[in-house]
Amino acid sequence: MTDRTSSTDRAFSIDREPWDAADGAALRAAQRAELDARYGNDDHEPGTAPTADDVPVFLVARDEQGRAVACGGLRPLEPGRAEIKRMYVEPGSRGSGVATVVLRAIEDEARALGVRRLLLETGTLQPEALRFYLREGYERIDNFGPYAGEELSICCARDL
């Protein structure tokens, strides 16, 4: 993919990478550790954990020094619908605009796959994530799929 520039004029490169590539795996492990600490356990994700088999698009953002700082993936659900998975920005890069850059790249990939509606799940102990998604045009919806009835889940969606 081409370089994209954030709202703070800091450049980030965004590339599709295999799910199992080292940088993406490290970012997902950091996300997992952060969420485990927030929720006080490692059992806070309803449904089936994403894998290389069901997340055909996984993006990694790198800063100007080439360091992997953010990621996000796309899990197809049914024709025309997909779920954003493993969206994460390492703490030192939060506030840099890279989350918006990754989100827009995921949306572009979704459009290219014929996705018309993007869905996502975040948690009740992630208020900054919810604020981000609402600011970026996503709306709260009833919890869907494996998140239905889950007290710790908050779901959002956006039509592309």
Q: How many domains does the structure of the chain reveal?
A: 1
Cβ–Cβ under 8 Å, residues 68 and 23: yes
For residues 105-124, average pLDDT: 97
Distance CA 25, CA 29 (A): 6
Q: What is the pTM of this model?
A: 0.91
Q: How large is the C-alpha radius of gyration of the chain?
A: 15
pLDDT over 70 at 62, yes or no? yes
Domain that includes residue 57, residue range:
4-159
pLDDT over 60 at 119, yes or no? yes
- Which CATH number fits the domain that encloses residue 113? 3.40.630.30
Longest dimension (CA), the chain: 43
Distance CA 20, CA 148 (A): 29
For residues 90-99, average pLDDT: 96
